[in-house]
Amino acid sequence: MKNVKYLECVNCGKHYAPEKGRYTCDVCGPSLGILDVIYDYEYIKTKVSKESLKNNKNYDMWRYEPFMAVEEDGPKGKLRVGWSPLYKADGLAKEIGLDTLYVKDDGINPTSSLKDRASAIAVAKALEEKAEVICCSSTGNAASSTAGNAASVGIKSVIFVPGRAPQGKVAQLKIFGANVMSVQGSYEETFKLSAEAIEKYGWYNRNAAVNPYCVEGKKTVSIETCEQMNWEVPDWIVFSVGDGCTIAGAYKGYVDLYEAGFIDKLPRVAGIQAEGCAPLAHAWMEKREWKPEEENTLADSIAVGVPRNAVKALRAVEKSNGVWETVTDEEIMDAMRFMGKHAGVFGEPAGSAGMAGLRKLVAKGVIKKHESVVCAVTGNGLKDVVHAIEAAGEPIKVEPTSEGLAKAMKEIGY
């Protein structure tokens, strides 16, 4: 990979070659020794420019291949991942109290979440290494995206999910032909079992918190957003946070663009966690080291009590002079209704947590009216219809008579 200099440990700074099977630092171990991909930006500049992107008709995440740690013109998955819509949400902005708000709807990706970006690059790396099996643990979205992207190229998948994973996501896994292990325990226990199986059987490790390349897929959401905004950088980007990989990738996308000379400033980052499972937000608010928490939230995709990418997530917020915020399950449910009603965007609970947090940050005066904001919706509402119906309410039941119709119309003001 000519565009990659080396992998660097975020804890001790030790450098490693990007070789097969290299995931974490030998000195710091898998829990602390998370690796960063360090790029040769001068080389990247020779491969891509704003002008070359204007002429590139390949509208998916691979239009940004020079910014990703994959072999040039190497094997890729078959699903079309990326180039999700960026809506200028004037109705939402007015209701919240902002002048300029964009909503990035990544729920329209092939398996209906932003996690397809990470899985696409993981599958590409698995193909490079000629892996026969790819494995991960997940609360749902990373699982289904891994299974779907692997199925597109004929790689077998073994997926570990906690027993609380929503049925919609489990259904996706089974349809994609994954071997699904429903662990009757927490996400942390699920992660440990997947790590044990990966070590024992030598499978390709797609766990985003360990695999340094997954962040490189996730960062394309920001590179893409910036191009869709004609290379204008918003004042703020807002993301819901679970294990920290997504927010780390979102920030790194802007850093890469800055280092390559595409933009001249960086956005501030707001990380949103569910109050019932907010180890990073609570640590920041209380000015202490983070510690594990219970996974007590309906937003399953961000219910991660032991975030594996804590260092990168905290660093993204700190370096950008950003903030953390927490939201209750009730605020998340309200944000689902609010975003659907005023923007026509249907987010699952975790995908709507960012919007719930944005509303709080504007109300508190942390994000100012004149500041521009991009809020990411990371997963589609059809992933979890049980909570969607709970948030929206049941339909009006109408008797099949004229009297029944009149009664029903009266209920809605006619």
pLDDT digits (tens, 9 = 90+) for 296-326: 999 988 999 999 899 999 999 999 999 999 9
Long-range contacts from 387-392, C-beta under 8 angstroms, 24+ separation: 387/166, 387/298, 387/333, 387/336, 387/348, 387/349, 388/336, 388/346, 388/348, 390/333, 391/333, 391/334, 391/336, 391/337, 392/336, 392/337, 392/340
Check pLDDT > 90 for residue 194.
yes
Average pLDDT of 96-120? 97
d(CA 200, CA 248): 29
Distance CA 353, CA 109 (A): 19
pLDDT score recorded for residue 112:
95
H helix intervals, 328-377: 329-343, 349-363
Which tens digit of pLDDT belongs to each residue from 361-396? 999 999 999 999 999 999 999 988 889 999 999 999
Give the pLDDT score at 141: 87
The average pLDDT across 209-220 equals 93
Residue 286 — pLDDT band, cuts 50, 70, 90? very high
Statement: residue 223 has pLDDT above 90? yes
Q: What is the pTM of this model?
A: 0.94
Instruction: Grade residue 166 by pLDDT with cuts at 50, 70 and 90.
Output: confident
Q: What is the pLDDT of residues 327-362, one digit of tens each?
A: 999 999 999 999 999 999 999 999 999 999 999 999
Give the CA distances from residue 199 to residues 17, 85, 194, 202, in Å, rounded to whole numbers and listed in that order: 21, 39, 9, 5
Q: What angle do CA 159, 377, 359 make, to 5 degrees?
A: 135
32, pLDDT greater than 90: no
pLDDT at 167: 83
Whether residue 133 is predicted with pLDDT greater than 90 in this model: the reply is yes
Instruction: Output the pLDDT for position 168.
Output: 81
The pLDDT value recorded for residue 209 is 75
